[in-house]
Structure 1
């Protein structure tokens, strides 16, 4: 594990070196230029509609809970198969739980495509890079109001925070990018400790929460980051970091260090989490826009439909942060077939 995570900065340098110094989009981006000519940064932020495409590009890199054809994590098995909630029986070469985790094959020298998380191979870096590109350039857009710019910048910060929380969950403290990286600048991005990474994530969320960010997105804007999502994510990050695995005088593993836990116990971490949770639920009570979707009658079918509606429909009142990969049948095709090979442990 240590040999993987201590080389994170080097891996990141390789990722960025593969990118272009001046990001360029062809016809796919602008829609009205020949494929051979790209859009410069100035052109990207020459109008609201073009700038929105940059922010949308950042959104496409968000973590997504279900396995898809584009992300082969766990061999398109579900993360719950690594917990006591679910068990996988699909004993073929691509199955992650059976081939890597149940038999203990995952190691510092063996992190294949069907693992749960591969640092450096994830779309998190795409989201972070384009979010910073947007933050640093949106002021140039002529046909956006100051309030619109403020709100969209806050959205981009929540996007960055969510991606870094995903990294924190899997590898602990990581390299932190605080601006749009140009490949011509020195590639010197040291790894932060676990505590520093938590602090950076919470700092971004505090900036977003204090900005002009909508409490809840409309149905048309479903999927955009909101103040409710930012406050809930802050609560989740602090609660997760304060848990006994990381917040303890006894380290969770003999080789655990300052990059994978706090290394000591503090009641203040629980107090900070409780404060964030109280602030979030107080705002939920005040705003009254989030609530459980209730069944229309007391039947199994009605309860099932209410549950489905909460997760499937756009603009619902239960989901605080919504990420979607599309509705094409091939996106989740392999995952759907997993029902024959895995199931809840009861």
Structure 2
């Protein structure tokens, strides 16, 4: 972050805080003991330097640890050696494992807000600290006298945005919290009560709305932004504020937040329509600005000459995979024109220690380093329907279990490595040739649960399959940089559709945007060349919501959103969302078939699923447990139910 914002950075301000306090210590700090108000807030440059540290605190989900975990829903599991990761700990119900853990981005046992080390930043570890900084800044806005109105608005807008953002990110996992909107004194006993989720959302919504009023769409087009022209992509702006304003209200209107934690799934379509209308309005304003060409954001293209190798056509301006990783672009941060909100990612080659080495087979050292592998579950891969837009289980979809990989949603071929896929493109030793094409059938060469796939699939959405020993995409010369955005434009379209569907079904729409919920989903399907939502799903509100949810599962697969989606839909405890399965089948084609034919055309036999595990969840698992050290501070800051 210091490299990105060095023009505006006032160095001594960024380094005044030498350590991160616990929640209790945070509450006890006086502003005067941290920084000189007269120095920090006297002009725009100094005030912005004070704010820069908040940006620096944003965790990098993928690179938080040597091998990291961020998918905790029904979407992913690790090979056996990765069972210490949070994904497996959630599977066995050990939600306490998030605390003081270096291997999950929710927390960190050695956090430091001033560090540019990707491993020193966790959500809970920094949130209260960053919120306090935002409150300190807001309390001292009157000291910003040597500044233009534009500068004052931008400073205030960032502070309101971050006060809400850090609260919202915690609320997703822990529920309603004390909403801290003032600088607390150490001389008084804290008494701020835990609010309900919706009470918190109201306060966050007010802050996001203020931020949206104050912030520019594009810093590059402001007088302030000319000082860092071309380096303003990560700065909080109006589009980010509107996106989170909508997300905040959609979450507040979701079934869990309206009806409370419960099992049975009976309330999964029961939304709070008032909150959903507010969400739709915020998303509508954002999408109207985007589609009218008033912003720097646009959907990236899905136009591939070779989708398996993520090779775009010569006429495509950008490509889908640029949102998640870049190669050969001088370590360019991923995101392209679609990423809306991202944190810093200054350790560029840090992607290769070891994110890029945790998605492929470790058989015979095919992918080097730690024996940790992210696997997509077979139950989740089923969300990738057919190219005609129908889900696999629709009788008219055309899905054929003898040709299960044929005519699937185009994103399936971009995201998922399946049996017979040409995994190695380069020359390899003769005794390794048998591993060039993936053996992911039952008993295949890459189905050992220790160093192959437990599920019958691999993921290559976030890291290309060429990140292997022989193709060498994770070598220095390829300049590979990975990063997961917190919010992107595809995410906005799915949330807009869900918010509108909650109160109006497929034809629901915001008053300030022309597209209906159905049209928003079809915008994403048009992007990839998949069929529109079929009419049989648009006439029934609940069936259409199911299609919206399936679209969200495919479009945002493995990006870290699935757990919170199942949670807020009251489906986390329900079958089939509480099982993780493998894909089992027998090969009919011989090895030579895959040398000359597209693997999607291979015929198989006995195509079936087998359950690997069932998650035994109850109502308490809808929220993570808070730290005992924090809930013990004062009676009003209570623990989540059941923990």
Q: TM-score range by the shorter chain?
A: 0.7 to 0.9
**Residues 49 and 110 (structure 1), Cα distance of their counterparts in 2 relative to 1, 3 Å cut:** closer
In the alignment, is the contact (CA less than 8 A) between 1:174 and 1:192 conserved in 2? yes
Is structure 2 residue 258 aligned with structure 1 residue 247? yes
Unaligned ranges ≥5, structure 2: 1-21, 108-121, 221-229, 327-331, 360-371, 382-643
Give 2:106's aligned residue.
117
* Mapped contact 2:178–2:193 kept (Cα < 8 A): yes
Equivalent in the alignment of 1:290: 297
State the 1:182 CA deviation.
3.5
Cα contact 2:239–2:286 (8 A) shared by 1:
yes
SS at 2:95 equivalent: coil
Tell me the equivalent position of 1:135.
138
SS of 2:42 mapped into structure 1? coil
Partner of 1:104, secondary structure, is coil
Q: CA 1:21/1:160 → structure 2, altered by over 3 Å: closer, same or farther?
A: closer
Greater C-alpha Rg? 2
* Aligned counterparts of 1:302 and 1:106: Cα–Cα separation in 2: 41
Contact 1:88 1:343 in 2 (8 A): yes
Q: Distance in 2 between matches of 1:268 and 1:148?
A: 35
Map Cα deviations across residues 148-201 of structure 1 (whole Å, 9 max, x no partner).
Answer: 111221111111111111111001100111122342344222111111001111
- Of 105, 108, 112, the residue aligned with 2:94 is 105
Relative to the length of structure 1, the TM-score reads: 0.75
Match of 2:68 in 1: 77
Deviation string, structure 1 residues 220-274 (Cα, Å, up to 9, x no partner): 21211111111111111222222223233xx4337xxxxxx9xx85332322222
1:13 aligned onto 2:29: no
Find the counterpart in structure 1 of residue 272 from structure 2.
Answer: 266
Partner of 1:72: none
Shift of 1:306: 2.0
Greater mean alpha carbon deviation, residues 40-49 or residues 190-199: 40-49
> Once the 2 structures are TM-superposed, how far is the Cα of residue 134 of structure 1 from its aligned partner?
1.8
Name the stretch that deviates more: 216-225 or 172-181.
216-225
Q: Distance in 2 between matches of 1:208 and 1:110?
A: 31
Which is richer in strand?
Answer: 2
The answer (yes or no) to whether the contact 1:63–1:166 under 8 Å persists in 2 is no
Paired position in structure 2 for 1:322 = 342
CA RMSD of aligned residues (A): 3.2
Q: How many residues align?
A: 302
**What are the ranges of 5 or more consecutive residues in structure 1 without an aligned counterpart?**
1-10, 25-38, 70-74, 255-260
State the distance in 1 between where 2:84 and 2:126 align. 21
- Structure 2 length normalisation: TM-score? 0.43
Question: Is the 8 Å Cα contact of residues 42 and 144 (structure 2) preserved in structure 1?
Answer: yes
Q: Residues 209 and 106 (structure 1 numbering): CA distance in 2 closer, same or farther, change over 3 Å? A: closer
Distance 2:287 2:133 in 1: 31
Kindly indicate whether residue 52 of structure 2 is the aligned counterpart of residue 56 of structure 1.
yes
Question: What is the alpha-carbon distance in structure 2 between the residues aligned to residue 280 and residue 93 of structure 1?
Answer: 41
Preserved contact between residue 43 and residue 144 of structure 2 (Cα < 8 Å) = yes
